[in-house]
Structure 1
Amino acid sequence: MLARDIMSKKVLSISPDHSVSHAARTMLEHGISGLPVCDERDKLAGMLSEGDLLRRTELGSASWRGIAGIGPKPEAFIKRHSWRVGDVMTQPVVTVDEDVPVDRVAELMAAKGIKRTPVMRGEEMVGIISRSDILRAIAGFVPDVVAAGDEAVRRAVLARLCSDLGLDRATIDVTIENGNVNLWGNVESEALREAARVAAETISGAGGVRNRLRIVAT
């Protein structure tokens, strides 16, 4: 699944010359946490998010307390006092290409602590992905479907354990008994043991999973 598969194609944006109060009202009216900022050529120039507005002077003097005797830095002063979106927005913008896998998008959003990111095709913004889009992708996920039969399930589970977790085929085994998957062998930690159980449970057709893996310190 790629970014273009889950992105919202209808993107609401604002101009750098819009007022901060207009931007705040727009976010409230549409129930969104941020807005792309596009210039007169419709090129992405920045991003205005809720976080950019948390220390505005409109919130009162308590919203900014400079260091005694020093006061705020000029950049911080502008961000807190200017009425113009272009002065308050965040730039450069964290973006993703439309062909980036969704798991990479989620990792980037988590690492950067952002709630939405524009999706690009070259220099053109073609969509936007929010955390809600990521949640919808998770909610709509359909587990892998494998061929019917115990042997097919056994091979699928083994493949998942080796490819996703890097387990050594020589140290583990999988058997099927009355529709239940049994995991056998040795792993290096409790976390790896639990990860093996989760991996087995993701295989469609695997009824119950009996985790008989043993932890062997290396």
Structure 2
Amino acid sequence: MLARDIMKKRVLSISPDHSVSHAARAMLENQISGLPVCDDRGRLVGMLSEGDLLRRAELGLVSRRDIAGVRAKPEAFIKGHSWRVGDVMTQPVVTVDEDMPVGRVAELMAAKGIKRIPVMRAEEMVGIISRSDILRAVTASLPDVIANGDEAVRRAVLARLCSDLGLEKGAIDVTIENGTVSLSGQVESEALREAARVAAETISGAGGVRNRLRIVANGGASDG
């Protein structure tokens, strides 16, 4: 799944010459947490988010200490007092290409701590993705579908353990007992043991997972 598959194509944007109060009203009326800022040519020049409006003079948050520090941090004064969106917006803008996998988009949003991210085609903004779009993609995802039968399930679980977790085939064994997947062998940590259980549970047709993997530590093994 790619960014273009989940993005909203109709994007509400504002001009850098709009007022901050106008932008705040637009966010409230449309129930969104941020707005792309575009110039007269439609080029993306910034983003205005709720976070950009948290230290505004209108909120009474400007203290004597803030005033005394204007010479040291004039940018903060501008951000807290200017009525123009262009002075308050965040730039440069974090964007993604329309062909970026959704998983990468989610990782970028988490790493940057942002709630909305514009989607680009070359220099043109063609959509926007919010955290709610990511959540919808998660709820719409389907479990892996594999062939029926115990042997098919066993092979699929083993392949998942090797490909996703990097486990060696010789270190683990997968069997099916009355429809339940049984894992045995050795792994290096409790976290890896639990990851193996989760990987096995993602395979469609697994009626449950019995985790008999042992943890190998400091040259010895302990029962998990």
TM-score band w.r.t. shorter chain: over 0.9
Distance in structure 1 (CA, Å) of the matches to 2:154 and 2:63: 61
The 5 Å alignment of 1:54-133 reads 54-60=54-60, 62-63=61-62, 66=65, 69-71=68-70, 73-133=73-133
Matching of residue 201 in structure 1 with residue 201 in structure 2 = yes
Distance in structure 2 (CA, Å) of the matches to 1:170 and 1:107: 33
1:171 aligned partner: 171
Distance in structure 2 (CA, Å) of the matches to 1:68 and 1:74: 10
* TM-score normalised per structure 1: 0.96
Unaligned runs of 5+ in 2: 219-224
Distance in structure 2 (CA, Å) of the matches to 1:151 and 1:64: 70
Q: SS where residue 175 of structure 1 aligns?
A: strand
1:33 aligned partner: 33
1:143 aligned partner: 143
Unaligned runs of 5+ in 1: none
Distance in structure 1 (CA, Å) of the matches to 2:51 and 2:112: 13
Matching of residue 19 in structure 1 with residue 19 in structure 2 = yes
Q: SS where residue 40 of structure 1 aligns?
A: coil
AA aligned to 1:171 is: A
* TM-score normalised per structure 2: 0.94
Change (3 A) 1:169 1:52: same
Distance in structure 1 (CA, Å) of the matches to 2:141 and 2:101: 15
1:157 aligned partner: 157
Q: SS where residue 163 of structure 1 aligns?
A: helix
AA aligned to 2:69 is: I
Q: Does structure 2 retain, via aligned residues, the 8 Å contact 1:55–1:64?
A: no
AA aligned to 1:85 is: V
Q: CA RMSD in A?
A: 1.3
AA aligned to 1:144 is: D
Change (3 A) 1:213 1:63: farther
Distance in structure 1 (CA, Å) of the matches to 2:94 and 2:41: 20
Matching of residue 6 in structure 1 with residue 28 in structure 2 = no
| Residue 194 (structure 1) shift | 0.3
1:211 aligned partner: 211
Distance in structure 1 (CA, Å) of the matches to 2:172 and 2:84: 62
Q: SS where residue 126 of structure 1 aligns?
A: strand
Distance in structure 1 (CA, Å) of the matches to 2:67 and 2:122: 47
Change (3 A) 1:19 1:142: same
